[in-house]
Every structure is written in structure tokens, then in C-alpha cells.
Amino acid sequence: MNERQMTCILCPNGCEIDVRWTGTPTDETIRVEGNLCPRGVGFALEELTHPKRTLTTSVLVRGGVEPQASVKTAAPIPRESIEMARREVARVTLDAPVAIGQIVLVDAAGTGVPVAVTRAVPRRATERSAD
């Protein structure tokens, strides 16, 4: 019997769950204890078989009141794709103004999941020279 402890991240409860399974984890072989809602079972199965994460990072902004804008994937992506997606986002530079929801990558690391801006960055006011 295999065993693993994990924290479910699907709701604010953050249940500490104990997972036990035999052979390859499936709906039939997995046993989950400690979850306060039924979503804990699905989370545990996905975490064992195909874990996913949401990538949150930032991109550079030219001409903005802030030098960067925060971005995140629109949905969780496979954990093994996170590093490639992070490298793709690191190559992005936007010109201000930047709007919330603006797509900066259409297909992060070949996952089909877009990366979007989560914080607007207005254009910096230009300074006028005194004549």
C-alpha cells in the first residue's frame, strides 16, 4: 500500500488529507481521509496522476507607471510545463498602457492555456520641458 499526505488546495478549507492507494492510483484504488468536502478525492487523484499548477509571475512594461505587470495562466497547467511557460513569459515585454485581462501569451508551453494580465499598468505621463 502506498501512502502520501497532502494539503488540498481546491477550496479555502485547505484540508490536510491522507491518501492511500494500491498499484496505480485510480478512482477504484484510492482512499482519501481528512477531506471536508468530496472535491478532496478528485484533487488527490489528479495530484498523484497528473498534477497541475497555476503560474503567476510578471512581465516587463515599457513606458508604464510601474516597471512590471502581474500575469497568470487562465487555468492550471501541467506541473511539468511550468518552467517552459515561465521562460516564455520572461521573454515578453509590453508597452503601456496594459489592461487587466490582456493576453500576453495565447498558448503557454503548448498547453492551450493563455496567460493574462492581472494588474493594469497605466502609461507614465510624459514630462514637458520648460522653454
For the stretch 38-87, pLDDT in tens is 999 999 999 999 999 999 999 999 999 999 999 999 999 999 999 999 99
> Residue 123 — pLDDT band, cuts 50, 70, 90?
very high
Give yes or no for residue 15 having a pLDDT over 70.
yes
The answer to whether residues 59 and 94 touch, using CB atoms and an 8 Å cutoff, is yes
pLDDT at 129: 54
The percent of residues in the chain predicted with pLDDT above 70, rounded, is 96
**At residue 128, does pLDDT exceed 70?**
no
CA atoms within 13 A on the CB side of 7: 5
- Domain 56-117: give its CATH architecture: Roll (3.10)
Q: Determine the Cα–Cα distance for residues 88 and 106; give it in Å rounded to an integer.
A: 11
Domain spans in the chain, listed from the N-terminal domain onward: 2-50, 56-117
SS3 13: coil
Q: Could you read off the pLDDT of 91-104 as tens digits, one per residue?
A: 999 999 999 999 99
Distance of CA 113 to the CA centre of its chain: 10
61, 67 contact by CB (below 8 A): yes
Taking residues 31-39, what's their average pLDDT?
93
What pLDDT score was predicted for residue 131? 54
Cell numbers describing residue 26: 485510480
pLDDT for the residue numbered 130:
58
For residue 94, which of 56, 118, 125, 62 has the smallest C-alpha distance?
Answer: 62
pLDDT score, position 24:
85
Are 74 and 113 contacting, i.e. CB atoms less than 8 angstroms apart?
A: yes
Calculate mean pLDDT across residues 30-40. Answer: 93
CA 115, 52, 87: angle at the middle one, nearest 5? 45
| pLDDT at 27 > cutoff 90 | no
